[in-house]
């Protein structure tokens, strides 16, 4: 625990003889504020507000509405990301049994039937001729080769 000397809000000067205990914690460097950060800021705001000039109710409600909107936007972004992942998996599965031409890198292409989809990573991989290819590498899609019908059993 360390002691910090507060600064007067009006003048920016150090308050004489005043020390405030402050606990320091280590946290990962983040680019976005979360709900916990908002609540900490709100509690500090209440602790440091002037009793003669309390915060207006409408300002507090506006802050809560803004945070609620931000939280809903973050949730929507996460859900859209999950939807995109699921759509990629459905698309990859629809290619099973079809003949694809994919970009193999360095200007080379590979053509073959999709025999499986590997969904173990962050994005589905198409298995063609025993090799994995990203869904974004698809250049051409054709109906799969239909095997010849088996002779009827006698």
Are 124 and 89 in contact by the 8 Å Cβ rule? The answer is yes
Query: Per the structure block, which two tokens stand in for 86?
Result: 């699921």
pLDDT in tens, 15-55: 444 444 555 555 556 566 677 777 787 777 777 776 776 66
38 falls within a domain: no
Domain harbouring 116, CATH code: 2.30.30
Structure tokens, 91: 């698309």
Residue 63: Cβ within 10 Å count: 15
Task: Give the Cα separation of 149 and 138 in Å (integer).
Answer: 29
Domain span at residue 135 reads: 95-142
* Residue 137, in any domain of the structure: yes
Checking if the pLDDT of 14 tops 60, the result is no
């Amino acid at each position: 625990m360390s002691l910090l000397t507060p600064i007067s809000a009006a003048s920016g000067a150090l308050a004489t003889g005043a020390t405030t205990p402050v606990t320091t914690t280590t946290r990962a460097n983040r680019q976005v504020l979360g709900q916990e950060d908002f609540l900490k800021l709100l509690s500090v705001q209440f602790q440091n507000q002037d009793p003669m000039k309390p915060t207006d109710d409408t300002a507090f409600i506006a802050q809560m509405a803004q945070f609620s909107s931000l939280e809903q936007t973050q949730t929507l972004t996460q859900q859209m990301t999950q939807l995109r992942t699921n759509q990629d998996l459905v698309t990859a599965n629809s290619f099973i049994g079809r003949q694809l031409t994919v970009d193999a890198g360095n200007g080379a292409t590979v053509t073959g039937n999709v025999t499986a989809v590997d969904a173990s990573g962050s994005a589905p991989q198409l298995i063609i001729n025993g090799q994995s290819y990203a869904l974004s590498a698809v250049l051409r899609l054709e109906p799969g080769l239909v095997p010849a019908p088996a002779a009827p059993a006698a």
